[in-house]
Structure 1
């Protein structure tokens, strides 16, 4: 019989068995479905670890935790967080023992995705992929995790702080007249070769935020860099050369005898700058760290050598 009385439909719905409503988030591995906010979270890469810490969430386990302390450093990872193996081969047993209710990983772990899902709901997002935009993807990860963990306001505040920091550092450089010369960002592989950071990498957002031009105009791999010989930098001699630590043992002595190095215009002008390690394959906070350290280094002035 058709019931048309006001409120009848609502009464019928109240009498039906209660059905728990679950939240859903599409991701690279399917759809994440949760019926409650996760509290025990494992991160299988450093970008995810960084994002959780920015949200004020301490993961119950991370991959390669000692490496995080050396390369990423900030936001700081509490000492008590256990290591659950490497980023490329985490221990499923160690993960299961921690009884997580959410695992955050990337596409590199695709072969293990089904096994991870048997342990706990798994969210897959890759900040670094062919044709991707690392900073935009890192923002997406932070905002989505903020939504999953009911920390949306915290995620948005983090992003506002990063943009404010970039603007502040840019004003300092502009006031000093230091924004009109391009920057070449490199890591030394050995005395003859460097990893140079390209416009499609995470570091590009730091340069743009500071009002600086990337001296290297060529796209790199999907990680955002290319490996080149020192001679490849010579055509961009109007730039300043910024070296990211660490450097190979004995490098300064070797470079002092290297014609590839000593004849670079940047070296001859004392426009070589060196800063602490900044993880180039991380999340949004690494942009802020790089921008701050790069600003301080440029304001302090350059030299003709590396340490």
Structure 2
């Protein structure tokens, strides 16, 4: 009887202990692990312990800046590369936010002066990850073009966990999912085929599925007018006006890089020439000039993705 009682007490103590441990830590489905007031964020460049609700954040990824702004967290932003901030986020050029260099040339001295609680970077800064990490906890929040929405959702869910904004993130993502579902229905019902292009310095590049702008095909369901575009996810394929004429897209999406980097609005001058004017896209008024702030500078943000869905939908109206 004593043995049975002792065994029962041991099991009971172990059960209580296990329950107590489970209440203080737990793994999250999006690649993070929490323990008390600290999250361990697993990202492309490593694992980083991050304290919840950081007060001073340096943000190099414009999509993340977009999401922080949408979530009402502008007061946590301490520094940004101000020269590269898109027009709709221009308030972050104010002197209250410290300028921390360029997207490819960070000012590490300025960052160190801030003494940030957290630094958030993406693809253009990944080679300098170790330098950032010497200053403060640093996490990578880039977008994987081959699984755009998955990586976008993981990023914003991580922000939700860090700042205690899980409920708002869930609501925002639900709205975006509904808009995408509506766009997919229109795309499925349409025979229209689209070509995605970017203009820069008078030259034109094309992007297909699984590319930087390929979510138009992959996630939104718009059919592609060209299945033979070389799969360079970032830089696309250099093309001629003859290429556009030959593919004869029903919809022509255009991103103006010059406008994005402050070198003028040149896309229309480049695109609307005699060869392109022979395409269905031109004849039917379906050349859609996409906002370069959303598409080139800050893709992967809660606001930018919502607006990207709306802009892509214009081609099917």
Match for residue 167 of structure 2? 153
Match for residue 283 of structure 1? 300
Contact 2:45/2:140 (<8 A) preserved: yes
What SS does structure 2 have at the residue aligned with 1:203? coil
For residues 89 and 252 of structure 1, the distance between their equivalents in structure 2, rounded to whole angstroms, comes to 31
Normalising by the residue count of structure 1, what TM-score does the alignment of the two structures yield?
0.73
User: Are 2:94 and 1:67 equivalent residues in the alignment?
Assistant: no
User: Are 2:143 and 1:116 equivalent residues in the alignment?
Assistant: no
Select between 275-284 and 25-34 the one with higher mean Cα deviation.
Answer: 275-284
What SS does structure 1 have at the residue aligned with 2:223? coil
Contact 2:197/2:206 (<8 A) preserved: yes
User: Is the alpha carbon distance of 1:198 and 1:33 closer, same or farther for their aligned partners in structure 2, counting shifts above 3 Å?
Assistant: same
For residues 250 and 228 of structure 1, the distance between their equivalents in structure 2, rounded to whole angstroms, comes to 17
What SS does structure 1 have at the residue aligned with 2:85? helix
Match for residue 32 of structure 2? none
Normalising by the residue count of structure 2, what TM-score does the alignment of the two structures yield?
0.71
Match of 2:55 among 23, 26, 39: 39
Match for residue 30 of structure 2? none
Contact 2:212/2:233 (<8 A) preserved: no
User: Are 2:276 and 1:261 equivalent residues in the alignment?
Assistant: yes
Match for residue 137 of structure 1? 151
Shift of 1:170: 5.3
What SS does structure 1 have at the residue aligned with 2:112? helix
Larger helix fraction of residues: 2
For residues 77 and 291 of structure 1, the distance between their equivalents in structure 2, rounded to whole angstroms, comes to 25
Match for residue 204 of structure 1? 214
Shift of 1:101: 0.6
For residues 178 and 77 of structure 1, the distance between their equivalents in structure 2, rounded to whole angstroms, comes to 41
Contact 2:286/2:315 (<8 A) preserved: no
For residues 13 and 154 of structure 2, the distance between their equivalents in structure 1, rounded to whole angstroms, comes to 43
Larger strand fraction of residues: 2
Contact 1:195/1:227 (<8 A) preserved: yes
User: Are 2:92 and 1:92 equivalent residues in the alignment?
Assistant: no
Match for residue 248 of structure 2? 237
Match of 1:274 among 286, 289, 292: 289
For residues 13 and 184 of structure 2, the distance between their equivalents in structure 1, rounded to whole angstroms, comes to 63
Contact 2:58/2:111 (<8 A) preserved: yes
Shift of 1:162: 0.9
Q: Which runs of 5+ in 2 are unaligned?
A: 1-5, 18-34
- Output the aligned Cα RMSD: 3.7
Shift of 1:85: 0.9
User: Are 2:243 and 1:226 equivalent residues in the alignment?
Assistant: no
Match for residue 15 of structure 1? none
Match for residue 216 of structure 1? 226
User: Are 2:209 and 1:195 equivalent residues in the alignment?
Assistant: no
Match of 1:186 among 174, 179, 197: 197
For residues 174 and 108 of structure 2, the distance between their equivalents in structure 1, rounded to whole angstroms, comes to 37
